[in-house]
Structure 1
Amino acid sequence: MPTPLIVIVRLRPRAGAEDELLDVFRRFSPGVFLERGCEKFALHRDDDAFMVVERWESREIWEEHLAQPENARLNAALAPLLAHPADVWDLLPLEIGDPEKSLI
């Protein structure tokens, strides 16, 4: 069984671009949801940034996602809306007890 991969992406929008950034995700997320191996693709927000929390069946499948033309279009749509380049963390989950509570 492949090891799942958790990906966290921090997007810091330029001032006034928050609604546009949200619209980009609303437009592109249905396609991501349908990609092979996409288990979670969730958008969250605080006062300064949007955080994307993703779960992929494996690192290899996530890398396939990154190579998709649709992912390139998503990134191109986001680029002019960002005050800083995206921060991306790709992480292997570690079970620390109850798997229902300790794993995303």
Structure 2
Amino acid sequence: MSIVVIATITPQDGKLPELTAAFEEATPLVQQEPGCEQYALYSDGSVIVTIERWASPDALEAHLAAPAVTALLARAGSLLAAAPEIRTIEALGFGDAVKGD
């Protein structure tokens, strides 16, 4: 069963463009990591939200130590207003498998 992660990242005032650029650079590398089934980013103009799906707990663990993530954290750390809010969630299994789990 896949592992789904939702992370909400809040930048310091005025730092959203820099934070977005950091994620834009890292995203193609993250999406190529083994076990990455989904890595999508969204914003409402004040925060960045990632919705991630990993093939296994091991794939997620490897992602957290991967070069793209460590470089992203080094670059983005000084841009954050607070630590990211990260939630690991499980699909409830309702509906169409393509449009939802």
Judge same fold: TM > 0.5, yes or no: yes
Q: Which structure 2 segments of 5+ residues have no match?
A: none
For the aligned residues, what is the CA RMSD? 1.3
The residue type equivalent to 1:73 in the other structure is: A
The residue type equivalent to 2:82 in the other structure is: H
Tell me the CA shift for residue 101 of structure 1: 2.8
Measure, in 2, the Cα distance between the counterparts of 1:57 and 1:34: 13
| Structure 1 segments of 4+ aligned residues over 4 angstroms from their partners | none
Tell me the CA shift for residue 86 of structure 1: 0.4
* 1:1-104 pair list within 5 angstroms: 3-103=1-101
The residue type equivalent to 1:67 in the other structure is: A
SS in 2 for 1:99: coil
The residue type equivalent to 1:19 in the other structure is: P
Tell me the CA shift for residue 29 of structure 1: 1.0
Q: Which structure 1 segments of 5+ residues have no match?
A: none
The residue type equivalent to 1:61 in the other structure is: A
Tell me the CA shift for residue 68 of structure 1: 1.8
The residue type equivalent to 2:5 in the other structure is: V
The residue type equivalent to 1:33 in the other structure is: Q
What is the TM-score normalised by the length of structure 2?
Answer: 0.91
What is the TM-score normalised by the length of structure 1?
Answer: 0.89
